[in-house]
Amino acid sequence: MTESSVPPRPAAFSYPGHGINARTGIAICHGFTGSPLSVLPWAEHLAAQGYAVSVPLLPGHGTDWQQLARTGWRDWYRSYEAAFLDLRSRTDSCFTAGLSMGGAVALLTASRHQVSGVSVVNPALSFYDRRIRVIGVLKYFQRTTLPIEEEQPTAAATYDGDYSRTPLAAVHELKKLFGAAARGLGRIDTPVQVFKSRTDAVVPPTSLALLQRRLGAHITEVVDLAGSGHVATLDVDAPLVFAGSSAFFHAYARHTNALETP
């Protein structure tokens, strides 16, 4: 294998701002068992527009499932929170953004800190698998399970580490994270943009329904992604995510904590 053919390894990414968007920051969070590679094209597009962008690598991610099993949701959240606060300290307006579980982290951050807005792609706040109800007990009898896989994935593949198994201890932590994010939705008073794939084998429709019920008018738009699966940031509708989120950040960069009134 030549050096040029070696796939990129999971790592955190950071881009300084430039031009008219230099003072606008966007902190992007990847998903559960994923890595910054899953949102890298999104980050690169925004960086090319001049935004200051930060994409941390969450603890237990970018390695293997054994490492993931030794981390908790607060570890994941605090890692992202630190990246967001650092970026906010260097910008005039700062947004949170995320994919899947990263959407929950972005929303939780917006419920605890002043942000200019939130943009999320297939945000996860609930599960398809009913076993989640007893995950706190099940994890003691079954250490791992097979990961959720889409039957015919159309997103570009990335190497995020060895997650050929999913540790149930980490799934239990994920459930706790979703609970914390859901409880915080009522404290969000900033515009929220949602991109939702029409076909998503990972995140059930109940996640979007919960957002719509709790956030109401704070959701400025729900963008339908007709051709993409769960990892839409690497799929055919990625250009819609990139252009739509960039327009959202530009529109709300100078309007923090409240929606614009007509």
pLDDT in tens, the chain (262 residues): 344 455 677 999 999 999 999 999 999 999 999 999 999 999 999 999 999 999 999 999 999 999 999 999 999 999 999 999 999 999 999 999 999 999 999 999 999 999 999 999 999 999 999 899 999 999 999 999 999 887 777 888 899 999 999 999 999 999 999 999 999 999 999 999 999 999 999 999 999 999 999 999 999 999 999 999 999 999 999 999 999 999 999 999 974 333 333 3
Separation CA 261–CA 37 (nearest Å): 37
Task: Please answer whether residues 161 and 64 qualify as being in contact, where contact means their C-beta atoms are separated by less than 8 angstroms.
Answer: yes
Q: Indicate the angle between helix axes 168-184 and 101-112, nearest 10 degrees.
A: 40
Other C-beta atoms closer than 10 Å to the C-beta of 131 total 13
> Cα separation of 146 and 168, whole Å?
10
Domain ranges for the chain, please list them. 10-252
Neighbours of 175 (CB within 10 A): 17
Q: Is 144 helix (H, G, I), strand (E, B) or coil?
A: strand
Residue 225's DSSP bridge partners are: 197
3-state secondary structure of 32: coil
Looking at the domain that runs over 10-252, which CATH code has it been given?
A: 3.40.50.1820
- Select from 253, 242, 224 the least CA-distant residue to 117: 253
Q: Which are the contacts of 125, defined by CB distance < 8 A and separation ≥ 6?
A: 103, 104, 178, 181, 182, 206, 207, 210, 211
